[in-house]
Amino acid sequence: MAFDARTDVANVMIRNAVLANNAAVFNRTTYFPSMDVNVTMAQAQGVTGHVSAPSISAKNVAPVAFEIPVPNPARDDEVYVYPMQVTLRVRAADVDRVWGTTSNKWRTIQNKFANLNATGGLKAFLDAIGPQKVVGGQTYALANVAPAADLPKYFQVRNNATDSEYYISFFMVIADMAKPTGLNDVVAVNNMFIVYDGQKNNVLVDPIYAGEPTTTTPTPTSGPTPTAGPTATPTPGSSSSSGGCSAFGFAPMALLLLAPLALLRKRG
């Protein structure tokens, strides 16, 4: 899904990612203990998902949620995951609209970006405007999930030529399962985030937005109360794709997600 492919999720770009060797990427016994998955991953190509903009009560820009029903129900010894690269676009006009021009929020973000390479600069920027992941009634600031010393390995932040837009990019893997014992809903491992969507129900769900860290979970202003599902009911998209490229040079994607889901299987 490319930027501006649809007005309600104009500031979000999702790029499919393929993990060729999950044994090198995951510590199986820690992150998928019930699976102890094989080295090779079966790919479920051409799976369609629905994209929507969830209504979040906290101040935010670039909100997005998707719901991906898997093609075939996973067996007890299988779990579906969706690896992706997500880029959230933060624009001056959107920040002023949400926070108000008198808040000087955009100037704060600009100042944080200007000091991005200073000690703690990336964390300060992401505290001002960073990815917030909602899972099962709790909000996780991804910048607080990753080790502080390794943040540059987890996030890429860039601006446009006029310094009126910023792009925050990161890798994320959504898993259709409850979190393993002893782990949070979101964990940082090998420069990416693993998100357990709450339950193994053959549907991958993922609401996320850019904003400030919060100690309380934003309550959706429409849709069901978050339990193990998305924070708003996704609405169907279009299967058409758009041309062009983003500021990062990523290839455009179909508006209706065509997700190459990975099926992790228990070792035989």
Query: What is the separation, in whole angstroms, between the first and last Cα of the chain?
Result: 36
**Residue-wise pLDDT tens digits, 115-144:** 999 999 999 999 999 999 988 778 999 999
Residue-range domain boundaries for the chain: 7-265
Check residues 142 and 242 and name the one with the higher pLDDT.
142
Kindly indicate the confidence band of residue 78, based on its pLDDT and cuts at 50, 70 and 90: confident
Query: 264: Cβ–Cβ under 8 A, 6 or more apart, which residues?
Result: 22, 32, 35, 37, 38, 41, 78, 79, 80, 81
Average the pLDDT over each of 23-27, 144-148, 172-176, 241-245 and give the range with the smallest value: 241-245
Q: Are 243 and 75 in contact, with CB atoms under 8 Å apart?
A: no
Can you tell me the mean pLDDT for 164-179? 89
Global pTM reads 0.76
Q: What is the mean pLDDT of the chain?
A: 73
3-state secondary structure of 69: strand
- As to burial, measured by CB atoms within 10 angstroms (0-12 exposed, 13-18 middle, 19+ buried), residue 136 is middle
Tokens of 160: 């446009």
Beta strands in 56-155 (DSSP E): 60-69, 78-91, 130-135, 138-141
- As to burial, measured by CB atoms within 10 angstroms (0-12 exposed, 13-18 middle, 19+ buried), residue 246 is middle
Round to whole Å and give the CA distance between 61 and 97: 10
**b/e sequence 165-180, b meaning 16+ C-beta within 10 Å:** bbbbbbbbbbbbbbbb
Average the pLDDT over each of 79-88, 153-162, 215-224 and give the range with the smallest value: 215-224
What is the model's pLDDT at position 249? Answer: 27
Kindly indicate the confidence band of residue 4, based on its pLDDT and cuts at 50, 70 and 90: low
Round to whole Å and give the CA distance between 198 and 140: 14
Check residues 155 and 85 and name the one with the higher pLDDT.
155
- Number of Cβ atoms within 10 Å of the Cβ of 247: 17
